[in-house]
Structure 1
Amino acid sequence: MNELGLTANLDEFYRRVHLSVGFNQSGYSRCMLYRHGDRSPTHVLLNLPHPLKPWPQGLGQLTQEGMRQEAKLGEFFKNRYVHQLHLINATYVRREVKIRSTDYDRTLMSAEAQLSALYRPAGRQIWNKNLLWQPIPIHTVPRANDTLLKSQSLACPRYDQSVQNNLKSNKFKDFIKKDGGFVKKIYELAGYNGSHKNIYYAAHEINGALFCMQKHNLTLPHWANSTVLVRLRKIALFVKLLKYSSPIQQKVTAGELLYRMIHDMKSVKSGTKMNPTKLMMYSAHDSNVMAILLALGFHLTKNPPYTAAVMLELYKDKNGTYLVQVLYRNSSVTVTLQLPGCKRLCPLNDFEKLTSNVTFPPLNRKEICTIKTSHTLSPVNIAIIAAVGGIIILFGILLILRYYFRHVHSKQSYDRIVEFN
């Protein structure tokens, strides 16, 4: 049983698929999105003595344990895509793999640690006998421009409106009645120093700080007993889901990334790219993993752990049909996920149709983020108005021409009559 409440025997599943479908395992693209490794808390609890002392690199930074976790993830990728599926070469080949990261130290360093295990240099790639590591490019963009992986952090009025609607919902009001007093008490006890004005969102970060302390065997405050921690963890997940639960929230937070993944798979199918990237990797955050799983129609019962990964794999069966398989690795167990309305091996065309309500190309973001009002015209309405306007203008021109020709004709007739007389 994993974070999604699903179980699977992956090896047995592949054995049956290969026998019954006639899988072509190699030569097709894989897209994967994964969370960074263990980090220091993003916020500290000021009511603790020496709150920053345990974190020498500062807040929100990858720890040595996080580096080890990411290296383990790299070993998993190597075993799967080099040894099992023979998708990529055992040594680094630039055209086969591309890595994109958010512009955070912890995600950039996670990508480096993961790649150090995936592509440990051998043979001619060894450049330092005392250092079995090689540099591999990792791409990123400034946070203020990252609509692909940090869309929820950028201005989007329609997304913000949806979040506010959730805060006014009966579900949230019931939550305040049940857990509001508890959250306020924890907020005061913790000495929260974050930027959230809404103390319920702060609960997520307080939970994160306590989680980091617990993971690093640090002494917790006296009030943070096991009962409090379990309750706070559930509240933190509930509050976080308020930002990803509605269709528009899922579209804004995961739609562009999912669109790009599908576009890459379609490019492989159509053969429009010469030597397409075989392994496209995205190093990001738990919020990204959560957003794409929810956008795909899966239910979360726990927050995605460190190094949690979602993998979209493209295959082709013996009939030439391209199939998409979704995998989820929760840092220790890997399961196959079945997209609602499709088979576990979902035809690419069906996969695209089933996700079309949440995907969008980058250029459409402004339109998607615009709040729809009674004064806001849709593209269809604009086209109709333009067509009607064109007809009216054309009709007006015809009337003018008709009047002109009738006037000229009348004048010529009068001139002829005068001349005759």
Structure 2
Amino acid sequence: MQIWRHGDRTPALNFSLNPDDIASWAEGPAGELTKLGILQQFRLGEYLRNRYQDFLPNHYSSNLIYVRSTDYNRTIMSALANLAGLFQPSAEEQWNENLPWQPIPVHSVPKNMDYVLNMDADCPLAKKAQENIWQSAENKTGLEFLTLNDMVRVFDPINCAVSRKIHSDHHVIPDWVTEEIFEKIHTLFNISTTFWMSTPEVKKFRGSKLSNFGNCRSNESKIIWNGKTLEILCIFCCTEHDLTLIAFLNHLEVYSKSMFPAYCSIILVELLEKDGQYFVQLFYKNGSTDLEPLELNFCKSPCPLFDFAQKFSGIYISDWKDACKLEN
């Protein structure tokens, strides 16, 4: 299973009174994937092809790969760009000699119904649990001008400019955003996102994709699980957002500020088989950094599949409509 963040994008939020701050991004309106983001994802796809060249088939097959995206332009486009690098057509598959690309389906569901990947899916109980965190007596500070919950609006446009500054001089970072100031803003943003996922209720509703681990299907590999035969895909891809990767890492109990997902960060969940036994090992690649193993504090890597699944069995939600108390 591969879980990656979309590529470079324009700011999705803005704290300034000047709307031109976002309008000045020529690549498109708020939150859209940029040309740089497309290139980043294409290269990530090439990286994944190189890593799994002895595992993945040379030819695309719908039986062996399933790609799921949140219903946002930037994530769907990121998936398409990634797949263009991951599955470049062979001579037999090429349908246009001037276009070395083949279409691969990317699946999605409406935002408000995407309880697996979208952190903002319609779920009244989850929303109430989040409100309780911010409104609880021990967290009322009396500050009226800015709260931790507002930090995403401050961090997002500045982070976009800082990220772009690394690659070009097209977007100038405001003079007041010194390295020290940005570090403080980043720290507050990380406190906000970590705090937002601090209760079991929120974790269950807003980051429980781990509970769906192993639900992929295929025609080749099979696992006997609780007396049932499960068929496993070669590769299951999810294209998502920074907060969903943070939620995933929080569930694994490994997240720290230094792991904040840069554009095109990716989590790899690999299923291994040895002597008829199945194991899970995990890796994390934060943007352009090297791939690093994720060391779990509850299980030594590679972790037996049974132990891994048992750890997260309590957050499995089989009926989201009932769990969220949705009327329709």
State the TM-score bracket (shorter-chain normalisation). Answer: 0.7 to 0.9
Deviation at 1:210, TM superposition (A): 1.0
Q: Tell me, yes or no, if structure 1 residue 42 matches structure 2 residue 12.
A: yes
Distance in 2 separating the partners of 1:369 and 1:322: 33
The counterpart of 1:212, out of the listed 135, 151, 160, is: 160
Distance in 2 separating the partners of 1:127 and 1:262: 34
Structure 2 partner of 1:260: 212
Task: Give the residue type in structure 2 aligned to 1:333.
Answer: D
Deviation at 1:91, TM superposition (A): 2.4
Q: Tell me, yes or no, if structure 1 residue 73 matches structure 2 residue 44.
A: yes
- What's the C-alpha RMSD, in Å, of the aligned pairs? 2.4
Q: Note closer, same or farther for the CA distance 1:160–1:241 as it changes in structure 2 (3 Å cut).
A: farther
Structure 1 partner of 2:63: 95
- 1:208-241 residue CA offsets vs partner (Å, 9 max, x unmatched): 1011122333233343222221111111111122
Q: What secondary structure sits across from 1:153 in the alignment?
A: coil
Correspondences of 1:124-135 after superposition (within 5 Å)? 124-135=92-103
Query: By percentage of residues, which structure has more helix?
Result: 1
Q: Tell me, yes or no, if structure 1 residue 350 matches structure 2 residue 307.
A: yes
Asked whether the 8 Å contact 1:102–1:146 carries over to 2, the reply is: yes
Q: Tell me, yes or no, if structure 1 residue 61 matches structure 2 residue 32.
A: yes
Structure 2 partner of 1:407: none
Deviation at 1:262, TM superposition (A): 3.0
Distance in 2 separating the partners of 1:155 and 1:34: 24
Structure 1 partner of 2:269: 312
Identity of aligned residues (%): 27
Q: Note closer, same or farther for the CA distance 1:57–1:158 as it changes in structure 2 (3 Å cut).
A: closer
Structure 2 partner of 1:143: 111
- 1:222-273 residue CA offsets vs partner (Å, 9 max, x unmatched): 4322222111111111112222122221111122x21222333898312835
Structure 2 partner of 1:195: none
Task: Give the residue type in structure 1 aligned to 2:246.
Answer: M
Correspondences of 1:190-205 after superposition (within 5 Å)? 199-205=147-153
Q: Note closer, same or farther for the CA distance 1:34–1:168 as it changes in structure 2 (3 Å cut).
A: same
Q: Note closer, same or farther for the CA distance 1:169–1:348 as it changes in structure 2 (3 Å cut).
A: farther
Structure 2 partner of 1:298: 254
Structure 2 partner of 1:322: 278
Asked whether the 8 Å contact 1:265–1:314 carries over to 2, the reply is: no
Distance in 2 separating the partners of 1:105 and 1:238: 28
Task: Give the residue type in structure 2 aligned to 1:269.
Answer: I
Correspondences of 1:243-392 after superposition (within 5 Å)? 243-255=196-208, 257-264=209-216, 268-270=222-224, 272=229, 276-302=232-258, 303-318=260-275, 320-331=276-287, 332-361=289-318, 363=319, 365-369=320-324
- 1:274-309 residue CA offsets vs partner (Å, 9 max, x unmatched): 6x4210101111111111111122232142111111
Deviation at 1:153, TM superposition (A): 3.4
Structure 2 partner of 1:385: none
Task: Give the residue type in structure 1 aligned to 2:198.
Answer: S
Deviation at 1:207, TM superposition (A): 1.1
Distance in 2 separating the partners of 1:324 and 1:297: 16
Structure 1 partner of 2:3: 33
- 1:140-159 residue CA offsets vs partner (Å, 9 max, x unmatched): 11112111111443223245
- 1:108-145 residue CA offsets vs partner (Å, 9 max, x unmatched): 00001100110111111111111111111111111121
- 1:338-392 residue CA offsets vs partner (Å, 9 max, x unmatched): 332211111111111112233332x1x345446xxxxxxxxxxxxxxxxxxxxxx
Q: Note closer, same or farther for the CA distance 1:45–1:163 as it changes in structure 2 (3 Å cut).
A: closer
Q: Note closer, same or farther for the CA distance 1:345–1:286 as it changes in structure 2 (3 Å cut).
A: same
Asked whether the 8 Å contact 1:107–1:284 carries over to 2, the reply is: yes
Structure 2 partner of 1:380: none
Asked whether the 8 Å contact 2:6–2:75 carries over to 1, the reply is: yes
Larger Rg: 1
Q: Note closer, same or farther for the CA distance 1:326–1:56 as it changes in structure 2 (3 Å cut).
A: closer
Distance in 1 separating the partners of 2:19 and 2:70: 32
TM-score by length of 1: 0.68
Distance in 1 separating the partners of 2:245 and 2:19: 34
Structure 1: which 5+ residue stretches go unaligned?
1-30, 188-198, 371-421
Query: By percentage of residues, which structure has more strand?
Result: 2
Q: Note closer, same or farther for the CA distance 1:290–1:131 as it changes in structure 2 (3 Å cut).
A: same
Deviation at 1:48, TM superposition (A): 4.5
Task: Give the residue type in structure 2 aligned to 1:153.
Answer: A
Asked whether the 8 Å contact 1:314–1:324 carries over to 2, the reply is: yes
Task: Give the residue type in structure 1 aligned to 2:188.
Answer: I
Asked whether the 8 Å contact 1:203–1:232 carries over to 2, the reply is: yes
Structure 1 partner of 2:180: 227
Asked whether the 8 Å contact 1:322–1:348 carries over to 2, the reply is: yes
Distance in 1 separating the partners of 2:192 and 2:257: 13
Q: Note closer, same or farther for the CA distance 1:167–1:280 as it changes in structure 2 (3 Å cut).
A: same
